[in-house]
Every structure is written in structure tokens, then in C-alpha cells.
């Protein structure tokens, strides 16, 4: 396994992070609670991740209605202190965790309640990494940052980050932290892949300028870059296109399917899988600290492991990008 320093912090994270969004559900959507990986399946995935040297598990308070954090907490109890001490816990806050009007968002009340709830489910005294899952336009950024600062000073969280933020909003948050002497967001976690390159316009230049870490999720674009979706075939049962197709409907066109066929040929010529090559492309960006991979079975992690061994030059990376933009 390879490790990199996260932004300006002194923390070393593995270049692969285990995405636990399918533990006990499919993300934060209440319609799918009870689906996804069972606790037994989740344990197998986490054991395989540890074998590979992955040192951080990425979850959220709302994943599976709390099931994801509970599974991780019970998994940790089966390990001795030496394993628990090496594993970095990363969780998030924002999405609804109940039906009440204050059961979501980034208010002081909600964040403080959810940190305690996450620590209880995880069976931990602190969270190494804590992200705001999305922006909350109804809560002032000052309130959110001040609350997170309190929790850092109390030792309940070590480092804070942001997910699904725009560059302008992250810039404002960094300015507020500097102005008010508060802990700042040290890394950003947005989607990034060969089929989703919007981060290159403003966010990645901001990361370079402010020395922020970048831990993108969905490097396979919801499975599209593995080749599982073909124009002439039905979507596989249980795939994202049968459960939550909305974020990917814009990809359903002949131009994308044609590009995927060319990408498949390139991967075959290199003797690697499409998925490994797609992840290698994200990892080869010098601003990428680590990628979040969400395997459904332990053997899926082999594809991510293989991606670490693929070296891409700047020209090769540009040629792969041109496959989808040319």
C-alpha cells in the first residue's frame, strides 16, 4: 500500500480508502435502509481492506440509517488494540437522521448531537477525520466552523474536511477560519472521474493553492467505467442504474457508449481491467491524495489494488481523458 500526507496535516492516509456507504443500506437514502451489504459481508470487506494496508474507513452518520457506523464499531471490537490504533475513522454529518426539522444540516445542535451518536456507534473516543457531507445554506458557515472548532479543541475530532462543496464556498470557509482563528477544512471530498471532471476547473487549482488534500469519491462513475453498462444490454440487477439512476442518466447516450468501447480497447491493450485503469487515472493526478472505493465484494478490491501498480505519464493521462472528450 502507498500512503500520502493529507493536505497540510501530519496525517498519513492510504491511497485507497474503504467506502462504507453500502453497509446496511445504499448511502443515506431511507428507501434503501436494510439493503446493501449485511454485517457479515461488511466484515469480510473490512478484513480484506486491512490486509491490503488500507488505513481509513469512510462512512457517515446517515449511511444505512446508522448501520454502517454500527457495523464498523462491532468490527473494531473483534480486533486487538494494535489494529484499532492503526485504523483511522472518518465520518460525515449533514443528511437526515430522523423526521424532525432539526434532524439534519450543519447547525451547532445537530453537529454536536451527531458527533456523540457517531462515536457511540463506532465505539470510539474520537473521530480522526470528520467531514461536512454537503453545504447547508440555512446555517451560517461561521456557526458550523465554530462548532467544529469546539469539537477539535475537546479532542472529539482531529481533522475536518468538506464534501460536495463548490470552490467558492470552500474559499469562503477557509477565509472565515483564517479570520476567526478556527480550524480549517484540510481536504475536500468531491466526485471525480474520467466521466466527471468538473473539479479540474476551480476546485483542484484551489487545492493546489491552499495545500488541501483531495480524496475523490466515485472514481468509477457509479460503475460506468467498469464496462458493466452497455448500450445493447439491460442494466445488471442491483446496480446503481436500477436503484439510483438519477445522477447518471446524462451518460445514457451513444457518444458515451462509444467512448467506453474505445476505453475498453485501451485497457485490453494494456492488459488491465477498465476499472483499474479508470482508478489509476484519478490516482495519477498529482493533487489526488487518496480515492474512496466502495467495493461490493472483497474481490472487487483487487481491481483497486491493481490500479496502484499502473503508472501513467501526463501524456497518457491526457490521451485517456481525450477518449471521453474528443
Query: Which residues are known catalytic residues?
Result: 63
187 φ, ψ to 5°?
A: -160, 160
Between CA 191 and CA 27 the distance in angstroms is: 15
How many residues are present in the chain?
Answer: 326
> Closest Cα partner for 285 from 1, 4, 8?
4
Q: What is the b/e burial string over 19-41, where b = at least 16 CB atoms within 10 angstroms of the residue's CB?
A: bbbbbbbbbbbeebbeebbeeeb
Q: Which of 94, 118, 90 is nearest to 107 (CA)?
A: 94
Q: Cα-flanking dihedrals φ and ψ of residue 228, to 5°?
A: -75, -20
Residue 286's CB is within 10 A of a number of other CB atoms, namely: 9
> Under DSSP, is residue 185 helix (H, G, I), strand (E, B) or coil?
strand
**Hey, how many other C-beta atoms are within 10 angstroms of the C-beta on 15?**
20
Contacts of 187 (CB under 8 A, 6+ apart): 6, 7, 159, 161, 162, 212, 213, 214, 215, 289
DSSP string, 95-113: S-SSSSTTSSSS-HHHHHH
Amino acid at each position: 500500500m502507498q500512503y500520502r500526507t493529507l493536505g497540510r496535516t501530519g496525517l498519513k492516509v492510504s491511497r485507497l480508502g474503504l467506502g462504507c456507504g453500502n453497509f446496511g443500506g445504499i448511502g443515506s437514502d431511507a428507501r434503501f435502509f436494510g439493503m446493501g451489504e449485511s454485517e457479515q459481508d461488511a466484515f469480510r470487506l473490512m478484513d480484506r481492506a486491512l490486509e491490503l494496508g488500507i488505513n481509513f474507513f469512510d462512512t457517515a452518520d446517515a449511511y444505512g440509517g446508522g448501520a454502517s457506523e454500527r457495523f464498523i464499531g462491532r468490527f473494531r471490537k473483534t480486533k486487538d488494540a494494535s489494529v484499532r490504533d492503526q485504523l483511522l475513522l472518518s465520518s460525515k454529518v449533514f443528511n437526515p437522521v430522523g423526521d424532525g426539522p432539526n434532524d439534519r444540516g450543519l447547525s451547532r445542535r445537530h453537529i454536536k448531537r451527531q458527533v456523540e451518536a457517531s462515536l457511540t456507534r463506532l465505539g470510539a473516543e474520537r473521530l480522526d477525520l470528520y467531514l461536512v457531507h454537503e453545504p447547508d445554506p440555512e446555517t451560517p458557515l461561521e456557526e458550523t466552523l465554530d462548532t467544529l472548532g469546539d469539537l477539535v479543541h475537546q479532542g472529539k475530532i482531529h481533522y475536518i474536511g468538506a464534501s460536495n462543496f463548490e470552490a467558492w464556498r470552500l474559499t469562503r470557509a477557509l477565509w472565515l477560519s483564517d479570520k476567526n482563528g478556527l480550524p480549517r477544512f484540510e481536504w475536500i471530498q468531491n466526485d471525480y472521474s474520467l466521466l466527471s471532471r468538473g473539479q479540474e476547473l476551480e476546485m483542484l487549482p484551489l487545492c493546489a493553492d491552499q495545500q488541501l488534500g483531495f480524496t475523490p469519491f466515485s472514481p468509477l462513475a457509479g460503475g460506468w467505467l467498469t464496462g458493466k453498462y452497455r448500450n445493447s444490454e439491460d442494466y445488471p440487477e442491483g446496480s446503481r442504474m436500477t436503484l439510483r439512476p438519477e445522477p447518471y442518466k446524462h451518460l445514457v447516450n451513444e457518444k458515451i457508449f462509444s467512448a467506453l468501447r474505445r476505453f475498453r480497447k485501451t485497457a485490453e491493450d494494456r492488459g488491465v481491467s477498465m476499472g483499474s485503469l479508470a482508478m489509476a487515472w484519478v490516482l495519477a493526478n498529482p493533487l489526488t491524495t487518496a480515492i474512496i472505493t466502495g467495493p461490493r465484494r472483497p474481490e472487487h478490491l483487487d481491481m483497486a489494488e491493481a490500479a496502484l501498480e499502473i503508472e501513467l505519464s501526463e501524456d497518457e493521462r491526457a490521451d485517456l481523458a481525450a477518449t471521453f472528450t474528443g
